[in-house]
Amino acid sequence: MPLDKIEERPEDGKIAPPNRQPKINKVTVGDIHLSLAAGMRDFCARPVMSAFFGFFYAAFGVLFVWCLFGLGKVWMIVPAAVGFPLVAPFAAAGLYEMSRRIHQGSSFGWRDIFSVIVRQRKREMGWMAFVTLFIFWVWVYQIRLWLAILLQGSSFSDLEGFLRIVFFTPQGWMFLAIGTLVGAALTAVLFSVTVVAMPMLLDREIDFVTAMITSIRTVAASPLVMLSWAAIGSVVLIVSLLPAFLGLIVTLPVLGHTTWHLYLRAVAAPDP
């Protein structure tokens, strides 16, 4: 077999010496459409494996909500559900690897994908997981802050009472307005630092800081298109939560595969 045909993977735990920043391509609406079409093809190519990652993500969400009920933290259910899509980029790591192999025409099975995911704990992906979870907890705690400031005299003994206060009182409307603005800002920040950083870390031997900078540069090069895509993706994920998180079984895999193909279009391949 010719040497140039051998698939190379970065060695676990080893990062290449710093080099110049990857070249960024300007992203257009057409790139979004083509990436989405490619993502749907990847989902249809391996629907069971793709849906598994969506099911796992949905099951974790249901378990999380059930635990909040059990702990009597009903006021956290809506904020946690709305902020839950923030961790979706990290949850899609297996989907990126699937799309990578489909794009290369490589055969693969369950063990191949899961072995790659397990190896990420020894690489820079772990730091990106920390960044993702940190922003998620910032979201949760800022919700607690605004609850204490705006709704301090209210009782949240059950979910129905919480929703009634939030949606049918002036204080609740203010809480929703501030929460929406802060949530949109946090989503934009997390999207900017992860949109190509996650697939890039899986694909290349690069440190997570360089990957995040590349991701930010990608968004800065095409801000309107990229942030519009972020808004669409966030809305799709939130709507997918409504039927007991079941919509995520399809939407998360499609968005994950799409992100991989968007990364290939946004970041130029490294020089040989």
The answer to whether 227 and 219 have CB atoms below 8 angstroms apart is yes
Mean pLDDT of 67-86: 72
pLDDT of residue 131: 82
Distances (CA, A) of 223 to 4, 27, 89, 227, 231: 37, 9, 19, 6, 12
Under DSSP, is residue 106 helix (H, G, I), strand (E, B) or coil? coil
- The answer to whether 243 and 56 have CB atoms below 8 angstroms apart is no
Q: Above 70 in pLDDT, residue 175?
A: yes
The percent of the chain in helix, strand and coil, each rounded to the nearest 5, is: 75, 0, 25
Reference 261, options 58, 75, 37; nearest CA is: 37
Mean pLDDT (the chain, rounded): 81
Residue 78: pLDDT above 90?
Answer: no
Q: Could you tell me how far CA 41 lies from the centroid of its own chain?
A: 20
Q: 55 and 249 in contact (C-beta within 8 Å)? A: yes
pLDDT of residue 10: 45
pLDDT, position 120: 67
What are the tens digits of pLDDT across the range 125-161? 778 878 887 888 888 788 878 877 887 756 666 667 7
What's residue 5's pLDDT? 39
User: Rounded distance, CA 233 to CA 128, Å?
Assistant: 20
Q: Per-residue pLDDT for 169 more than 50?
A: yes
Q: How many CB atoms lie within 10 A of CB 89?
A: 25
Residue 14 or 176, more confident = 176
Confidence of residue 2 (pLDDT cuts 50, 70, 90): very low
Q: What is the pLDDT of residues 19-65, one digit of tens each?
A: 568 899 999 999 999 999 999 999 999 999 999 998 988 888 888 87
Token pair listed for 79: 């904020």
Integer Cα distance of 174 and 1 in angstroms? 65
Residue 250 is predicted with a pLDDT of: 92
